[in-house]
Chains A and B, each alone.
Chain A
Amino acid sequence: MVTASNSTDPSPDNTQPGQPFDFDAAFREVSRSAFLLARQLGHGPEKAQDIVQEAALSAWRYRAGRRGPFRPWFLTIVYRLCRRPVLDWLPLPAGWDRHVPPGITVRFDPDLLTALHALPTRQRAALWLRYCEDLSISDVARVMRLRESAAKQLLFRGREALRRKLTTKLEENQ
């Protein structure tokens, strides 16, 4: 099981609103996570970088209104920007569904990553935030703008879908 979010972490991420705060340091700590989240939500490297930069500028602009730790707050902005429906170019491109563009692989357990990428975007995002970014369920709910019960349900459905896909893969390999 994943442990609860690291509440004793002395990093800038844990700085509460109103306290002296090094924005750049906090952003540096979360930038990789934010980038990977954008990648998992179906954006290529350049677009993901643009999204995180845009999120950083928004975060800097609205930093006074931050509630709670920096990390989930910033990931919320990134998630919202990633999920914003965007018409990139006209005429419309064929690939409107945001599957994860290639580029990210794993050294171990590639079947798991393949199965994860085949999940619907919201399930994929919830699982990624919970297990790969180690966020608590309440933070996952906050990032995805859900109630905790809805986040739990989404995670459950995602795990079940993943389990079925992995089992099917195992059977195919036999």
Chain B
Amino acid sequence: MIPALSSDDVERRLSVLAGSLSLSAADVRAVDTLRTLPIATARRRPRRGLRLAIALAIAVVVIGTGNLAAAYYAPTYGQALAAAPALGGIARPLLQFIGLTEQSAVALSGSATSSGHTIQLVAGSADGLRTVILLEIDGRGLTGKPKLYGTHPGDFAVVGGSATLSDQFGHVYRQRGGLGPTALEFDPLVSPASKVGARLTLHISGLQKQWLLPLRPNAPVPADIMLGGDWTLHATLIQASMHDLPLPAPVRTADGVFSVTLLRLTGSELVIHWTVSGPINDQVDRAFYGPGATGWTPALRQLSQRFFGLQIVDANGQPPVGGSGSGGEWDPGLFRGETTVTIGHPGRYQLQLADALSAPGQQRWITVP
């Protein structure tokens, strides 16, 4: 006969559970990254009046010192990248993984040495969606098989959250999740740097010895895995042209209103934002926000597949050349979706705002110049 567990037993066991937790290497990395995240200092901005004064002062200096300063603060003016060396030597699978091509990234140069290790800028890219910096550490990180990087002694990675990027106007760009050990992604450039070109300063304060990362999930992370330092690098990037296309009319049905809210073309990438409002959201609202919320059920999944997905094809019914990524989220009464596709050629493209909207007249056409 097994003695029945009492509620007190359960409470006692629960209260000591946290003390014996063991995290995987990925979890430990994430916690460490979060601990070193400088939220307040990274987000602190000069006051509006101060920013205005700084901008005015910069404007005076630019006008007063003529073309030389203009070329510095506005790289597009000086065509600073006209003689940039061709991009090469970066493993193509890595570029593909990052979502870049040899055409969409520009070669960068410059290096800094600290704590006995050299970080070299190799390439970068800036569009309306993100800013990407690719670098090598001690000459490694971008060549060879990307999956093998980190397995050999000497394979370093930039510690997540240890890199800050700022432009010549003092704007600090937030680092996003790492694209790879030596590929850094930041928020897109903001005006005025996005308009006139950005002279960027990248500061890195920590490297991680990738080869020391334990392979087994629960193995302890060595204490000496981090390496502090002070690497400051400079790069010039000009944001790829970006423009918004005219929005098609919304599709109204008894189930709801399906609207495209943004069509933004950056190079060959098309970003589509769309929303679904109306009664079709009621079931999702009840499942997630109402009393006795059930979360996802098979019926709700089926509903979401029918009503919350956008398809795009060209005039011949073919999907765009590039893979598309889609996501979305619900707020009470409203679904917001986002899709990114790589457009192979200019022309007319058909948008079907949901699987359920297959009737004639429920599709919308857009023209990509």
The distance in angstroms between the C-alpha atoms of A84 and B328, with both chains bound, is: 11
Q: From B326, which residue of chain A is reached at the shortest CB distance?
A: A90
The distance in angstroms between the C-alpha atoms of A124 and B329, with both chains bound, is: 23
Least CB distance from A120 to B in Å reads 8
Query: Is the Cβ of B308 less than 8 Å from the Cβ of A87?
Result: yes
The distance in angstroms between the C-alpha atoms of A88 and B309, with both chains bound, is: 11
B244 at the interface (CB under 8 A from A): no
Query: Is the Cβ of B23 less than 8 Å from the Cβ of A103?
Result: yes
Q: From A31, which residue of chain B is reached at the shortest CB distance?
A: B34
Contacts of A89 in B (CB 8 A): 325-327
Number of A-B contacts (CB under 8 A): 167
Query: Is the Cβ of A109 less than 8 Å from the Cβ of B20?
Result: yes
B65 at the interface (CB under 8 A from A): no
Query: Is the Cβ of B22 less than 8 Å from the Cβ of A132?
Result: no
User: Per-residue CB proximity of A126-161 to B under 8 Å, as 1/0?
Assistant: 010011110000000000000000000000000110
The distance in angstroms between the C-alpha atoms of A167 and B43, with both chains bound, is: 50
B86 at the interface (CB under 8 A from A): no
Question: What class of interface size applies to chain B in its complex with A?
Answer: 35 or more
Query: Is the Cβ of B309 less than 8 Å from the Cβ of A53?
Result: no
Contacts of B16 in A (CB 8 A): 108-109
Classify the secondary structure of A's interface with B: helix
Query: Is the Cβ of A85 less than 8 Å from the Cβ of B34?
Result: no
A112 and B17 contact, Cβ closer than 8 Å, known pairs A45-B26, A45-B27, A103-B24: yes
Least CB distance from B133 to A in Å reads 19
Query: Is the Cβ of B21 less than 8 Å from the Cβ of A27?
Result: no
The distance in angstroms between the C-alpha atoms of A88 and B329, with both chains bound, is: 8
**Per a CB cutoff under 8 Å, which of B10, B177, B301 touches A162?**
B10
Least CB distance from B26 to A in Å reads 4
Query: Is the Cβ of A132 less than 8 Å from the Cβ of B309?
Result: no
A166 and B5 contact, Cβ closer than 8 Å, known pairs A45-B29, A102-B217: yes
Within 8 A of A (CB), among B18-49: 18, 20-24, 26-27, 29-31, 33-35, 37-41, 43
Q: From B161, which residue of chain A is reached at the shortest CB distance?
A: A53
Query: Is the Cβ of B34 less than 8 Å from the Cβ of A52?
Result: yes
A90 and B309 contact, Cβ closer than 8 Å, known pairs A112-B14, A127-B14, A159-B7: yes
Total contacting residues, chain A, CB less than 8 A: 65
Q: From A86, which residue of chain B is reached at the shortest CB distance?
A: B329
**Per a CB cutoff under 8 Å, which of B2, B14, B296, B304 touches A167?**
B2
Q: From B284, which residue of chain A is reached at the shortest CB distance?
A: A85
Query: Is the Cβ of A31 less than 8 Å from the Cβ of B14?
Result: no
Least CB distance from A150 to B in Å reads 10
Query: Is the Cβ of A121 less than 8 Å from the Cβ of B295?
Result: yes
B224 at the interface (CB under 8 A from A): no
Query: Is the Cβ of A60 less than 8 Å from the Cβ of B24?
Result: no
The distance in angstroms between the C-alpha atoms of A107 and B218, with both chains bound, is: 10
Contacts of B97 in A (CB 8 A): none
Contacts of B9 in A (CB 8 A): 163
The distance in angstroms between the C-alpha atoms of A13 and B23, with both chains bound, is: 24
Contacts of B4 in A (CB 8 A): 167
Least CB distance from B7 to A in Å reads 5
Query: Is the Cβ of A49 less than 8 Å from the Cβ of B327?
Result: no
Query: Is the Cβ of A84 less than 8 Å from the Cβ of B218?
Result: no
A56 and B30 contact, Cβ closer than 8 Å, known pairs A90-B326, A92-B305, A133-B18: no
Query: Is the Cβ of A27 less than 8 Å from the Cβ of B217?
Result: no
Query: Is the Cβ of B288 less than 8 Å from the Cβ of A53?
Result: no
Query: Is the Cβ of A56 less than 8 Å from the Cβ of B37?
Result: yes
**Per a CB cutoff under 8 Å, which of B218, B308, B309, B330 touches A105?**
B218
Least CB distance from A140 to B in Å reads 13
Query: Is the Cβ of A96 less than 8 Å from the Cβ of B14?
Result: no
A104 and B17 contact, Cβ closer than 8 Å, known pairs A24-B40, A49-B34, A52-B34: no
Contacts of A92 in B (CB 8 A): 301, 304-305, 309
- Please indicate which of the listed interface residues B9, B30, B296 has the most CB atoms of chain A within 10 Å of its own CB: B30
A selection of 13 A-B contacts at a CB cut-off of 8 Å is: A1-B8, A27-B40, A31-B35, A35-B30, A48-B30, A59-B39, A90-B309, A103-B24, A107-B22, A108-B16, A132-B18, A159-B14, A167-B5
What would 12 more interface pairs be, CB under 8 Å, given A49-B34, A107-B22, A109-B17? A1-B15, A24-B38, A31-B37, A56-B37, A84-B331, A86-B328, A107-B20, A131-B14, A131-B15, A159-B7, A162-B14, A171-B2
